[in-house]
Each structure stands twice: as structure tokens, then as C-alpha cells.
Amino acid sequence: MSYAPEVRERLEKDAKEIIGRYPKARSALLPLLHLVQSEDGYVSDDGHEFCAEILGVSKAEVVGVSTFYTMYKRKPAGDYHVGVCINALCAVMGGDEIWEQLTEHTGIGHDETTPDGKVSLERLECNAACDFAPVMMVNWEFFDNQTPESAKQLVDDLRDGKDIRPTRGPKRLCSFKEASRVLAGLPDDQAGEGPSAAGASLEGLKVAKANGWKAPEA
Ligand code: FES
């Protein structure tokens, strides 16, 4: 099976725009994998074939890349892909406990999706937000300073279709497919919304400014 003609036509238009940003077409493979993931919610067999054809590379090469990176899913992710950081700092601050309670609460494990297709879970290794540990992400937006209770409530609210806002970043939480389209390099104009750095992340900067410290000259 391959994409319906109207889907293919739409994907080709977006793919050509993305490919045009690179000196060599094959360099566009990573964003194109996000593009097909934005269509199917994972990198499907059709997605692999589409990338191979439009880039003029073999399907084996495409599969070799897509199966290397964990951000490319091999089966459909939920509308809300929930990541729990279980790397060292988050783990000791409660990430391990959040993961344990969340998997028990939802009945799903790593890279699995709830039967209603709403939520999938993933163990993440550092979200680069350690000063807000323990941190979770939903479709790559931050949910800081979580507890097992807040994590379970968050997932229940997502499944109930409630209006959820990330701790930082945009006011609206997009779907996994929409987030994949942004990662393909086709922005939704929400990237600049809301605070990015905040709280503990800025403490060192404040101390440096108060003391007149500067980075050494290169
Ligand atoms: S260890 Fe969890 S965000 Fe860095």
C-alpha cells in the first residue's frame, strides 16, 4: 500500500520545499522522516518508501537511519506523546517513581500507546531541563517539577481532552503529528511563545551580572 494520490501530492510539495534547503537531497532525510511521521504518527512503511523515492536512496538506507534515532517511532504514538525523564538527576528527584506509578496507572510501558490512541509513554534520558527536575515532556513541551500525582493527573486530563498548557512555552499543546511537522522544519509560529529560560536556569546569570563576571575572551 502507498499513500493516496492527494496525500502524496501534499507530502511531495512539503518535501520539495525541505529538500531545497540542502545542497544535497539526501541531507534532508532527517526532516523528511519527521514529515512522514506528521502524516502517520510514526514512520510507516509507506513513509520509508516515500523518503527513499524522493531522495533517490535505497529503502534500506532510510530504514537504517529511522531505526537509529528514538524520536522516530516504529508504531503509532499517541496524540500526546508523554516523556518521563529517568536520567540521573530527575531519577533521584522523583522521575523513577513517576515512571513506575504512571506505567501502573495507564497500564502501558515504554513506547506503548493507550488503547484509545490518546497517550503514549517513553522513558527519556535528560530533557536538558535538569534545574526543573523531575521533568516530563508532552509532544516535546516542558512540564516542570512534576510529582507522581501531577503526572497521573496530567495523563488523565490529556485523555479526557482537557485544555492543557505546558509549564513554559506556547499556550496551546499541539498534537504529536503537529509537533512532528514543526520538527520537519515547517513551523506553526508558536516557537517564540511563552518563556523559555526561567527560574533556576537564570540564577547563575543573575549572580554573574551582580558581580560583573564575563565569559573569557576567545
Ligand atoms: S536529568 Fe532530567 S532533564 Fe536532565
d(CA 40, CA 46): 9
Identify each DSSP E strand in the chain by its residue range.
80-85, 112-113, 119-124, 136-138, 141-143
Tell me if 81 sits within 8 A of 74, measured CB to CB. Answer: no
Q: What is the predicted pLDDT for the residue at 198?
A: 78
Q: Best of 97, 127, 136, 167 to mutate for ligand 1, by most ligand atoms within 8 A of CB?
A: 127
Q: What's the pTM value of the predicted model, to 2 decimals?
A: 0.91
**Whether 113 contacts 78, CB under 8 Å:** yes
Looking at the 3D structure of the chain, how many domains does it have? 2
For residue 26, give every residue at least 6 positions away whose Cβ sits within 8 Å of its Cβ, in sequence order, or none: 55, 56, 57
pLDDT at 1: 62
What pLDDT is stored for residue 192 in this prediction?
Answer: 78
Rounded to 5°, angle at Cα 159 from 191 and 32: 40
Q: For residue 32, what is the enclosing H or E element?
A: helix 29-40
Specify whether 113 is located in the same domain as 165: yes
In terms of residue numbers, what domain contains 97? 80-174
45 and 129 inside one domain: no
Residue 11 covered by a domain: yes
- From 96, 132, 135, the mutation candidate for ligand 1 (largest count of ligand atoms within 8 A of CB) is 135
Q: Is residue 146 part of a domain?
A: yes
Cα separation, 6 vs 165, whole angstroms: 33
Pocket flag, ligand 1, residue 124 (CB < 6 Å) = no
Measure 204 CA to ligand 1 centroid, in angstroms.
18
Rounded Cα distance between 32 and 15, Å, is 7
Q: What is the pLDDT of residue 17?
A: 97
Segments of the chain scoring below 50 in pLDDT: none
Do 120 and 113 meet the contact criterion of CB atoms below 8 Å apart? yes
Q: Is the peptide bond before 187 cis (omega within 30 degrees of 0)?
A: no
Q: Is 89 in the pocket of ligand 1 (CB under 6 A)?
A: yes
Contact 143, 167 (CB under 8 A): yes
- DSSP conformational letter for 110: B
pLDDT of residue 78: 98
Residues 17 and 56 in one domain: yes
Q: How far is CA 144 from the centre of its chain?
A: 15
Residue 110 bridge partners (DSSP)? 121
Same domain for 99 and 56: no
Residue with cell 506553526: 188
Encode pLDDT of 87-100 as tens digits.
Answer: 999 999 999 999 99
Q: Is the CB of 90 under 6 A from ligand 1?
A: yes
Q: Look at residue 105 and tell me if it is in a domain.
A: yes
pLDDT at residue 89 in the model: 95
Q: Are residues 84 and 165 in the same domain?
A: yes
Q: Counting runs of H as helices and runs of E as strands, what totals does the chain give?
A: 9, 5
Asked if 102 contacts 148 with a C-beta cutoff of 8 angstroms, the reply is: yes
Same domain, 131 and 169: yes
Q: What is the pLDDT of residue 194?
A: 79
Is there an atom of ligand 1 within 6 Å of 133 CB? Answer: yes
Phi, psi values for residue 166, rounded to 5°: -65, 160
